[in-house]
Amino acid sequence: MSEQEFKLALSYANAAMKLLKRCEIPAYPHFYELLYTYATGVNVPLNARMNELFRSGQPLTTDVVEALCVEFLKSYDVNERITNVSERMHARIESVNDAIDTAMLTAESYSGSLKVASGDLDRGVSADDLKSMTRQLLSETQHMQKTNSNLEDQLEASREDISALQRDLEEVRRESMIDSLTKIANRKSFDESIDNAVEDAVRTGEPLCLIIVDIDHFKTFNDTFGHQTGDQVLRLVATTLKANIKGRDLAARYGGEEFMTILPTTDIAGAVIVAENIRKAIHAKELLKRSTNEKLGRITASFGVAQFMPSDTSASLIERADRCLYAAKNSGRNRVVSEQELAKIIAA
């Protein structure tokens, strides 16, 4: 990178950071990327949209920036990033193959020259012919050394590129397991994690519990206050879940307004305590509309808690936790129902 390019990139970075600070937007990587892209001016539709927002006087809130990220940033397209890594890997492999082919042809030519020289020496050559032969072999040896050196350079570059590609693939893999809105594990990650947790519980005999969380009256809330505020609610619940688990526990967005929490090495009594802590923490938070600071009230959620049994599969454990959730919904919402409590409710 030239000094001019460095200064230009730095000016874009400074402009992005100033905009983040001025609008009081958290400096999350994807927010920074969006505003850096805006500063460069390379994404014409993005710049048109943001300039329109600035002209209208609408505040650049976190919700607005989040929506712009989803709409305009290509980094959200995991499939595209995987394709890009694949193409780079293919180009590097082709480059190495070309270098290997060249080295093999040079080696074959060199071997042929050595055989010819060996035959000439066996028949006897004059001093002048010997000098000429020596010069030719020296020239071909130098060419061979140069070809081998080029091959070594290509292999070294490939080693570095492959290491970088492996890091990129791992980053893409991690991102593919994260829900883009809430920044916790997504359904794909949950499906993989619950299967692994069940296998571990079977192997070790340790307890395992599952909590299903569903936001109460979310559709009504979403329709009343709008999708951006609904997204804020989803992020709030996700953050609360993540703040109340630890170690090997996993919080995931299962779909829509439903969340899952996997609690390895936790029995049903401990899982109920965790669920109650989360329920109280969600209910304790008062929701504000960021654009106006209008108080929108409090949100609540219902919880179903089930403990793994030796005969369980992932599906049967989810099904039993889901039954507990529906019992919580049907008995007034904003409560935790475990399997033990469900049995009491059914008996009553």
- In single-letter form, the type of residue at position 141 comes to T
Residue pair 248/208 in contact (Cβ under 8 Å)? The answer is no
Find the largest Cα–Cα distance for the chain: 114
Please tell me the total number of residues recorded for the chain in this structure.
348
Distance CA 302, CA 151 (A): 63
Could you identify the residue written with the tokens 């990129």?
168
Distance CA 125, CA 129 (A): 6
63 membership: H or E segment, kind and range = helix 62-72
Residue pair 309/300 in contact (Cβ under 8 Å)? The answer is no
Give Cα 23 distance to the centre of its chain.
26
Distance CA 338, CA 306 (A): 6
Whether 66 sits among the annotated catalytic residues: the reply is no
8-state DSSP, 334: S
- Give me the catalytic one of 33, 175, 257, 286: 257
Q: Which tokens in the block code for residue 255?
A: 């779909």
Q: What is the Cα gyration radius of the chain?
A: 32
Catalytic positions are: 257
